Amino acid sequence: MIENVIIFSKEKNEMLLTFNFGDTNPESEAFSDSLTKIRDIAIKLEKGIFNLDLDGGFSSLILAIKRLSVALVFPQNLDEKEVSEWGNVANEIVSGFEKIYEREKTNVEVLNEYKNNIKEIVEWHLKEGSPIDKMKDALW
């Protein structure tokens, strides 16, 4: 359901970290136009959430806080309930990243270690939010 998580520094105007869940590489030539749109909004958005429709049926949910933004890329458009649920996931990801991110001191190792946290957050949400799992739990 989710393709990528991309974290941006609004101070540096750059992408800090990407994590792929699907087949779409956000740094590929085929995704470059979409990445440019995502980056522009992620850098300019002061605070809040923005749901962006992209080419090829993709969409991106962008959440901005003071110094950072996170974009979650999906292979389909999201409905209002999904925007709310994934907005909570985005908030958890960017809030956790903000705690370890120091503008000048954050090194590549720290960034790569945080990828495990991203994976855990998203996998937990997918497991907890799975309608099939909820139905199974309700039956037992």
Burial environment of residue 81 by CB neighbours within 10 A (0 to 12, 13 to 18, 19 or more): exposed
Name every residue whose Cβ is closer than 8 Å to that of residue 136 and which is 6 or more positions away in sequence: none
**Can you give the residue range of the structural domain that contains 115?**
4-139
Write down the pLDDT at residue 28: 87
Sign of the alpha-carbon dihedral angle for 61, 78, 115, 25: negative
Rounded Cα distance, 59 and 72, in Å: 8
Whether 110 shows a pLDDT value over 90: the answer reads no
To which H or E segment does residue 97 belong? helix 80-100
With CA atoms as reference, report the closest residue to 106 among 27, 17, 41: 17
HSE-CB of 135 using CA atoms within 13 angstroms: 3
Question: Per-residue confidence at 105, pLDDT binned at 50, 70, 90?
Answer: low
Q: Kindly report the CATH number assigned to the domain that includes residue 71.
A: 3.30.450.50
Would you give the distance in Å from CA 72 to the centre of its chain? 3
Over range 112-132, report the average pLDDT: 82
pTM of the model: 0.86
Of 81-85, 95-99, 102-106, the range with the lowest mean pLDDT is 102-106
Q: How many structural domains compose the chain?
A: 1
Judge whether 101 and 68 are in contact, CB under 8 Å.
yes
